[in-house]
Amino acid sequence: MNAIPATDLRRWVLTLSTGLLLGTALVLTPGTGHAQGKELPDFTELVERSGPAVVNIRTVERVRANARGLPEMDEQMQEFFRRFGIPVPNQRRGQPRNDEDLPQRRGVGSGFIISADGFVMTNAHVVDGADEVIVTMTDKREFKAKLIGADARTDVAVVKIEGAGLPLVKIGDANRLKVGEWVIAIGSPFNLDNTVTAGIVSAKARDTGELLPFIQTDVAINPGNSGGPLINMRGEVVGINSQIYSQSGGYMGISFAIPIDEAMRVADSLRSNGRVVRGRIGVGIGDVSKEVAEAIGLGKPTGAAVSTVEAGSPADKGGVEGGDIITKVDGKTIEKSGDLRRLISGIKPGTKTTLQVFRRGAYKELSVTVAEMEAEQRPRRQAEGDNKATPAQPSVLGLTVADLTDAQRKDLKLKIGVRVESVEGAAARAGLREGDIILAVDNTEIANAKQFGAVVTKLEKAKVVTMQVRRENAVSFVLVKPAK
């Protein structure tokens, strides 16, 4: 690279200094010594337009007294004492006269007004357990808020303040967001009202295991920002700042926001019913690995693998079986198990839904009537029959299997399958164990021990064998790799 002449270098430094003062990003063109300017985004208009509708939320939770009349210590503080081996001190002696004598836990968060008559959206964890919620606006007006409803599954809550003609945000479309797009957050980190931070969209549809896919950004989010809006360059709210990835408890460059379209659906349900009504079909599911997808003929790792089917559930009545791969719901493709949870939960209970499933090498369509989501039921333990069939001889895979008794078939509600009586060799290395029920081998249903033996003897010795196995109440695929 040629050296930049001293006169050009001085001119470039002067241009750089001037550009920084004017808010301009400068790029030095190699070999010319000349700077090219590109305007940085100006967020002032966005803040002036959206800021008045962003509120500070303070919460008060009265500490409950324990059986001895002493106020309960905060769990984090108790953990601190336990971790360092310090005896937990008595916080107060004597019984408090009333609730006002008890200490209070205080929290802070953010929110934004979504209607001129005072409905405010925030995070459920901001108002969780609060006895009192105080909303403060940018003009310092304070309101005592009423909790309309909170949904822990999506971390969305709605509170109501009494007012009219209040400033409100403009709701955008999270689906239009692009990775790399500028966004800003307004909130109250560490109770510092109306703090503005900016960044870009780092990723979309980030699956963190929650019910909703998140928008990932590098906008600085800290305690107190929770519940505040994520705003695009058009001044539209596209998300609710909800989580951060942190190993220290503070911001580390990664934050997550709930997509506003999903949040608004939850908010509308909370305003109408005080709760969220969701659909369910009664299956336990997991993702499909690349190895399993190739082994069973699915091709690519897509869909939701059904491990359990709740007895009497919509899925059970509709013919869904353990080991099925659900690939579509009403024509919408299921890329991973989280997609199925989100799609089904969004369907109104009582609606007939068509599921496409991949079962033993072929696709089938099943009709299922969605039910309302309820508390999960504990799976039944597998019961043993009063008598056992005569075991078959050990197979080349190291398995000894036996026919299921009539009592076992009735209890397990199975028409097919054989029970593993002993296991060694390749099967043991694959994780199979006594008591497992083998339902299929390489997409061939296994009705009895005789058929199992016939199928296994025809297998190629060096070929990986795919078995569909039921263990207790869960069905999974097991790849048995013969020893080389």
Binding-site residue numbers for substrate are: 125, 155, 224-226
Centroid of chain to Cα 140: 36
Strands (E), 166-223: 170-171, 182-187, 195-206, 214-217
Coil, strand, or helix at residue 478?
Answer: strand
Judge whether 207 counts as a catalytic residue: no
Contact 138, 81 (CB under 8 A): no
d(CA 155, CA 212): 10
The binding site comprises 125, 155, 224-226
Other C-beta atoms lying within 10 Å of the C-beta of residue 445? 15
DSSP, res 154: T
**Which of the residues 115, 125, 287, 422 is marked catalytic?**
125
- Residues with Cβ within 8 Å of 59's Cβ and at least 6 positions away in sequence, in order, are 106, 107, 108, 109, 126, 127, 130, 132, 133, 134
Contact 292, 477 (CB under 8 A): yes
d(CA 76, CA 96): 23
Identity at 467, one-letter amino acid code? M
Judge whether 125 counts as a catalytic residue: yes
Judge whether 367 counts as a catalytic residue: no
Contact 211, 154 (CB under 8 A): yes
Helix (H) and strand (E) counts in the chain: 11, 29
DSSP, res 324: -
Contact 176, 162 (CB under 8 A): no
**Which of the residues 110, 151, 155, 188 is marked catalytic?**
155
- Residues with Cβ within 8 Å of 48's Cβ and at least 6 positions away in sequence, in order, are none
d(CA 105, CA 82): 21
**Which of the residues 110, 226, 345, 395 is marked catalytic?**
226
Residue 456 CA: distances (Å) to CA of 360, 423, 449, 452:
16, 15, 10, 6
| Rg (alpha carbons) of the chain, rounded to whole number | 30
Nearest-5° Cα angle at 165, 160 to 170:
80
Q: Would you please indicate which residues are annotated as catalytic (active-site) residues?
A: 125, 155, 226
